[in-house]
Homo-oligomer: A and B are copies of this chain.
Amino acid sequence: MHRLKLFIPGPTEVAQEVLEAMARPPIGHRTPEAKELILTVSGQVREMLRTRQTVLLSTSSATGLMEAAIRNLVRRKVLCTSCGAFGKRWYEIALANGKEAELVHFPEGKPVDPEVIDRKLAQGGFEAVTFVHNETSTGVISPLEAMAEVVRHHPDVLLLVDAVTSMGAVPIAFDELGLDVCLASVQKALALPPGFAICVVSDRALERAAKVDARGYYFDFLEMARRAAEGQTPITPSLPHLFGLRVQLQRILTEGMEARYQRHLRMARLVQDWARQRLALFAEESSLSPTVTAVDTMGRFPPRELIQYARQHGFLVASGYGPLKDRTFRIAHMGELQEADLKELLQCLESFLSSRS
């Protein structure tokens, strides 16, 4: 069977050059060559996220780093903001680790409202606030800059940002915004195969970690940061992903961050225009995600029929997430995809709609 082209919110398409880099034979992970590899990749991440702070490279998915952020930076209580499934995941993680957590949930399709969070934080007692930059389950982007500004007014509160489906596709200026953790898996807009995650951690977050007990072992930020400064990782890292990252981050920086952001906006607009014209957008207009669009079928057909049709024509699009499964389907437009790819997909979806009218 011919491979399906991926229009799902991860894994996404990967450049052949990157796949080939991942097939390099392993090297000793304590050699000078490995050190250079780790330092190069860390430097590339720093450039992409406009930061001078610490880059941690994690052999895990981003979910592992979300848990790491909670265990390392929250002693007692965290405020979790949410406008969909991935916002709630932070909350579940906090509870699964024996922390107190409060969830502020905004209706699906709407973004997180920083003003509401500001009032909540003013009540005191929170050591950190979690924030999903781009909520993949509903196709909503929440206002990172406004959120960062709000959190800056609460000096003891750390801001932990899930940038899983925005990193590399949407501008994030880590130092300028004063973020504390910004994490992502590599199989989304960064366009590598899954199995690895990266994050930036601020100095003040590392100072906080030093005061937290039972941080655990595998995801101990202090140990990871100590080794990162030496161009090492505490445990043997996924060398294939590091080989791939070095090539892919260079490709990203060569494309240019600004050009990359614009390409994602153009791809998003293409899909949004089509959805608006033929069906409807699930997310509210002012918060449409640049990387994934949730299309509301308006009850005109079961989304699985469209997904099945697309699959028969070589395209993999995503079902709606959880409770939205029977009402929406999702098209991701990120990473390696180009406008031409989206046009090809939309043409296919167009024939599906015609076949039903």
Residues A40-63 near B (CB distance < 8 A) = 59-61, 63
Does A344 touch B at the CB level, under 8 Å? no
B28 near A239 with CB under 8 A, answer no
12 A-B interface contacts by CB (under 8 A): A14-B26, A19-B23, A22-B22, A26-B187, A29-B194, A31-B316, A59-B194, A61-B235, A193-B238, A195-B238, A195-B240, A218-B219
Kindly state the separation between the CA atoms of A187 and B220 in the bound complex, as whole angstroms.
22
Contact of A238 among B6, B196, B215 (CB under 8 A): B196
Q: Which residue of B lies closest to A26 (CB)?
A: B11
Which secondary structure characterizes the binding site on chain A? Answer: loop
Kindly state the separation between the CA atoms of A20 and B185 in the bound complex, as whole angstroms.
23
Q: Mark A1-16, 1 if CB is under 8 A from B, else 0.
A: 0011010101111100
In the complex, which of the residues A12, A187, A193 has the most CB atoms of chain B within 10 Å of its own CB atom? A193
CB distance from A341 to the nearest CB of B (A): 14
Contacts of A63 in B (CB 8 A): 217-218, 234-235
Does A260 touch B at the CB level, under 8 Å? no
Residues A59-118 near B (CB distance < 8 A) = 59-61, 63-64, 66-67, 71, 92-93, 96-98
CB distance from A272 to the nearest CB of B (A): 23
Does A312 touch B at the CB level, under 8 Å? no
Contact of A60 among B28, B92, B97, B218 (CB under 8 A): B218
CB distance from A315 to the nearest CB of B (A): 11
Known: A29-B194, A67-B217, A92-B217. 10 other contacts (CB 8 A): A19-B25, A28-B316, A31-B316, A59-B195, A61-B236, A63-B217, A64-B64, A194-B237, A196-B238, A240-B240
CB distance from A75 to the nearest CB of B (A): 13
Kindly state the separation between the CA atoms of A238 and B140 in the bound complex, as whole angstroms.
27
Does A214 touch B at the CB level, under 8 Å? yes
B96 near A217 with CB under 8 A, answer yes
**Which 8 pairs show the lowest CB-CB distances between chains A and B?**
A195-B238, A11-B26, A98-B214, A23-B23, A96-B217, A19-B23, A194-B236, A61-B235
CB distance from A35 to the nearest CB of B (A): 14
Residues A159-214 near B (CB distance < 8 A) = 185, 187, 193-196, 213-214
Residues A100-156 near B (CB distance < 8 A) = none
Contacts of A64 in B (CB 8 A): 59-60, 64, 218, 235
Kindly state the separation between the CA atoms of A332 and B191 in the bound complex, as whole angstroms.
35
Contacts of A13 in B (CB 8 A): 25
Chain A interface size, as a band, is 35 or more
Q: Which residue of B lies closest to A213 (CB)?
A: B98
CB distance from A176 to the nearest CB of B (A): 30
Does A251 touch B at the CB level, under 8 Å? no
Does A322 touch B at the CB level, under 8 Å? no
Does A299 touch B at the CB level, under 8 Å? no
Does A323 touch B at the CB level, under 8 Å? no
Q: Mark A221-240, 1 if CB is under 8 A from B, else 0.
A: 00000000000001111111
Does A27 touch B at the CB level, under 8 Å? yes
CB distance from A211 to the nearest CB of B (A): 15
Kindly state the separation between the CA atoms of A113 and B236 in the bound complex, as whole angstroms.
29
B10 near A27 with CB under 8 A, answer no
Contact of A11 among B185, B194, B239 (CB under 8 A): B239
